[in-house]
Chains A and B, each alone.
Chain A
Amino acid sequence: MSTLKAIINEHIEWRRQILKLAKADITKTYSGAALGWAWALIKPSMTIAVFWFAFTYGLRGGGPVNGFPFILWMIPGFSAWFFMSDMITGGTNAIRKYRYLVTKMKFPVSTIPTFVALAQLALHIGLLLIVILIFIGTGHFPTLYWLQIPFYMFFMLMFFIFWAMFSSMLGAMSRDWQNLIKAIKQPIFWMSGILWDVNKITIPWLQKLLYFNPVTYFATGYRNCFIYDTWFWEEPLQLGIFMGMLVVMVLAGFWSYRKLIREIPDVL
C-alpha cells in the first residue's frame, strides 16, 4: 500500500516533468531525420501494405469480413498492435534507455514507464486519426460504436504502463530478459489474431484461451468499434477476463518495482 501511495505521489509531484519527458522522448526519435515526423507513419503504413499484399494476393486468405474489404478489416487491429508492439519491447528497454535519470540524479523511477507509454500513446493517436480518415475516405462514416475507442485506448495504456513497470525493472537487471521479450514478440503477434479473425476459430477451448490474451482483447476491441459494431459490455466474459488480467499485471508491476527499485541504480 505504501508503495502505491509513493508511486501516486511521485506522479503528482512530477506531472509537469513527465509531460516534458514524454515530449522529449518523441522529438528525440524523430528530430534530426530529414523526414522527421513522417517516419512515425511511414513505418506502420509499409507494414500494413506488405501484410495486406501477402494476404490478399499471396495467401489468398484475405476475403472481405463483415462487408469490409480485408485491408480495412486489418487496419484497426494493426494500429493497436503497433502501440502494443512498441510497448512490449520499448517498455522493457525503458529504464535502460533512461539510465542517466536513474544513475546520475534523483529521479522518481516509477514515472519512467509512464512517460515512455505517454509518448507512444501520442504517436498512436496520430496513427488512429489517419485510420479514421481512411475509413471516412472509403465511405465508412463514424458510428456510435466509435465512441468506445477511448475506452479501449485507456485500458490499453494502463495495461502497458504496468507491463512496462514490470518488464523494465527486469530488463534493467538483465539483458537476458530483454532478449527473451524480443524473441517472443513475433510469436505474440502471430498468435493474437492481429491478422486473422479470432471469432473464426472453431476449437472452443482455443478460442477461450485467447480471451486471456490482452493483445487479442485490444485488437478485437478496436475492430468492435470499426467493423463489428459491438459494444464492450456485449462481451461480458471477455471484459471480465481482461479485467482479471489487468489486475494480475498491476500486481506484477508492483511486485517487480518494490523488489528491484533499490537495486536498479547499482546494476545499471
Chain B
Amino acid sequence: MKKDIIIDFNHVTKRFKLYKNDKKRLLGVFSKKVPYKEKLAVRDVTFQVARGETVAFFGRNGAGKSTILKMITGVSYPTKGTIDVRGRVSALLELTSGFDPELTGRENIFLKGQLCGLLDDEIKSLEDEIIEFADIGEYIDQPVRTYSSGMRARLGFAVNVNIRPEILIVDEALSVGDKEFRSKCLDRVNEVIENDNVTLLFVTHSTSTAKQFCKRGIYLVNGQLKYDGDIDQAIALYEDAGKAAKRRRRAKKELALAEAEFARTGSEEARLKMEEAQKKLDKARAMIRELNKVGSEQ
C-alpha cells in the first residue's frame, strides 16, 4: 500500500549569499561582480513525510533545522531541488506566528485566520476557543507589541493549533511557556494528532518533549541529513554527539592547560598530563568520527 505522502523533500540544497554589508548587497542586485561568501545551510537533503506522521528535527544551532521548516512553510525557497507540500501548513516559526505588532491580539486572530483562508464566521466560531486557550486575560485587546515573549508564544500556539491545520510546524515555540502551559499544549497537540490526523513537524532541543510527541526523528549535522528513522535512535545520536563535542571541548582545554604548564616548568608530571589530555582528545575525535560514519550509512 502506498502511503499518503504530504511532504516530499527532494534533493534540496539551500545556499545563502553573505555580503559584507548592506551596501554590497544592494550593488549585488545590479552586478554579479560584487564578491560574497556562500553558506550552505542545507546540503542535498531528501525525505518524505506521510500524512499523520510526527517528526522531530534534531541538530545543533545552525544545522539547518529552521531553514528546512521555513522551506516547507513556503517562506523560503530552495536553491536546488524540489519541495512538494500538499496541505494547509500552520507554522509557529521562532516564537511568533506572524503577528502584526501594531494590531491587538484579537485583531491578529482575525487577520491570521483570514490569511489562512478561513471565513469570518469560521473565525468567530473559533475565537472564544483560541482566547480561552491562550489565557492571556485582558491583554487580548492590547497591541501585540506590548506582549511578553511568553504571551506571544501562548497566543501563537493557540491560534496555530486551533485553525485546523493539516501540517503543524512548531519551531522551538514551547521553550518559553511555563510548565503548566507547556503540558496544556502537549495535550492539545496530542489531541489534534489523534483526532484530526494532523502531521506534526517539531524542532526542539528538549529530547524528552520530542519523545512525547514524535515517533520519527531526523538528525542533522551541518545541513546534512545524518539520520532519519526511529525517534529513540535519533535522540541517542544527537545526545551522543553532544557528549562527544563536550568531551572534545574539555580535552582541548585540559591539553592547553597542560601545555602551558609544561612550557613553564618542563616537569615530567606536566608532560604526562599533556599526554593524557592528548589521548582524551583523540578518543573524543574518534567518537565524533564514528558517530558521523553511523549517520552517513543510513
- Listed in ascending order, the chain A residues whose CB lies under 8 Å from chain B are 16-17, 20-21, 24, 28, 32, 100-107, 170, 173-177, 259-260, 262-263, 265-267
Given A28-B100, A265-B75, A266-B76, check contact A105 B115 (CB 8 Å).
yes
- Residue pairs across A and B with Cβ atoms less than 8 A apart, 27 shown, are A16-B114, A17-B115, A20-B111, A20-B114, A28-B100, A28-B102, A28-B103, A100-B98, A101-B98, A101-B115, A103-B98, A104-B91, A104-B97, A104-B98, A105-B97, A106-B73, A106-B74, A170-B29, A173-B25, A174-B22, A174-B26, A174-B29, A175-B22, A176-B22, A176-B26, A177-B26, A265-B75
Most buried by A among B23, B99, B114: B114
Query: Which of B16, B74, B96 is in CB contact (< 8 Å) with A266?
Result: B16
Assembled-state Cα–Cα distance A260/B93 (Å)? 22
Q: Is B253 an interface residue (CB 8 A)?
A: no
Assembled-state Cα–Cα distance A84/B98 (Å)? 29
Q: Is B17 an interface residue (CB 8 A)?
A: yes
Q: Which residues of A contact B70 (CB under 8 A)?
A: 265
Q: Which residues of B contact A174 (CB under 8 A)?
A: 22-23, 25-26, 29
Q: Is B77 an interface residue (CB 8 A)?
A: yes
Say whether A24 contacts B76, CB under 8 Å: no
Q: Mark B84-123, 1 if CB is under 8 A from A, else 0.
A: 0000010101101111111100010001001100000000
Q: Which residues of B contact A24 (CB under 8 A)?
A: 100, 103, 107, 111
Give the interface size class of chain B: 20 to 34
Say whether B103 contacts A173, CB under 8 Å: no
List the B residue with the shortest CB-CB distance to A105. Answer: B98
Q: Which residues of B contact A176 (CB under 8 A)?
A: 22-23, 26
List the A residue with the shortest CB-CB distance to B26. Answer: A174
List the B residue with the shortest CB-CB distance to A259. Answer: B29
Assembled-state Cα–Cα distance A192/B17 (Å)? 39
Query: Which of A17, A106, A173, A175 is in CB contact (< 8 Å) with B75?
Result: A106
Q: How far is the CB of A38 from chain B (nearest CB, A)?
A: 19
Assembled-state Cα–Cα distance A134/B70 (Å)? 53
Assembled-state Cα–Cα distance A37/B107 (Å)? 19
Say whether A107 contacts B115, CB under 8 Å: yes
List the B residue with the shortest CB-CB distance to A256. Answer: B29
Say whether A265 contacts B22, CB under 8 Å: no
Q: Which residues of B contact A106 (CB under 8 A)?
A: 73-75, 89
Q: Which residues of A contact B143 (CB under 8 A)?
A: 32
Q: Which residues of A contact B101 (CB under 8 A)?
A: 100
Q: List 10 A-B pairs, minimum CB-CB distance, nearest first.
A: A104-B98, A106-B74, A174-B26, A105-B98, A262-B77, A174-B22, A28-B102, A100-B98, A265-B76, A265-B75
Q: Which residues of B contact A107 (CB under 8 A)?
A: 98, 115
Query: Which of B29, B93, B99, B107 is in CB contact (< 8 Å) with A173?
Result: B29
Assembled-state Cα–Cα distance A176/B25 (Å)? 10
Assembled-state Cα–Cα distance A101/B77 (Å)? 15
Given A173-B26, A177-B26, check contact A104 B107 (CB 8 Å).
no
Q: How far is the CB of B28 from chain A (nearest CB, A)?
A: 8
Assembled-state Cα–Cα distance A262/B276 (Å)? 52
Q: Which residues of A contact B115 (CB under 8 A)?
A: 17, 101, 105, 107
Assembled-state Cα–Cα distance A174/B25 (Å)? 7
Say whether B29 contacts A102, CB under 8 Å: no
List the A residue with the shortest CB-CB distance to B28. Answer: A173
List the A residue with the shortest CB-CB distance to B77. Answer: A262
Q: How far is the CB of B101 from chain A (nearest CB, A)?
A: 8
Q: Which residues of B contact A16 (CB under 8 A)?
A: 114
Q: Which residues of A contact B16 (CB under 8 A)?
A: 266
Beyond A20-B114, A104-B98, A177-B26, 11 additional pairs, beta carbon < 8 A: A24-B100, A24-B103, A100-B99, A103-B75, A104-B97, A105-B98, A170-B26, A174-B22, A260-B29, A265-B70, A265-B77
Assembled-state Cα–Cα distance A105/B100 (Å)? 12
Q: Which residues of A contact B74 (CB under 8 A)?
A: 106
Q: How far is the CB of A264 from chain B (nearest CB, A)?
A: 10
Q: How far is the CB of A30 from chain B (nearest CB, A)?
A: 11
Q: How far is the CB of B278 from chain A (nearest CB, A)?
A: 42
Most buried by B among A16, A105, A265: A105
Given A20-B114, A24-B107, check contact A102 B26 (CB 8 Å).
no
Q: How far is the CB of A168 from chain B (nearest CB, A)?
A: 13
Q: Mark B149-184, 1 if CB is under 8 A from A, else 0.
A: 000000000000000000000000000000000000
Say whether B100 contacts A102, CB under 8 Å: no
Q: Which residues of B contact A170 (CB under 8 A)?
A: 26, 29
List the A residue with the shortest CB-CB distance to B111. Answer: A24
Assembled-state Cα–Cα distance A100/B92 (Å)? 12
Assembled-state Cα–Cα distance A100/B143 (Å)? 15
Q: How far is the CB of B14 from chain A (nearest CB, A)?
A: 9
Q: Which residues of A contact B25 (CB under 8 A)?
A: 173-174, 267
Say whether B96 contacts A263, CB under 8 Å: no
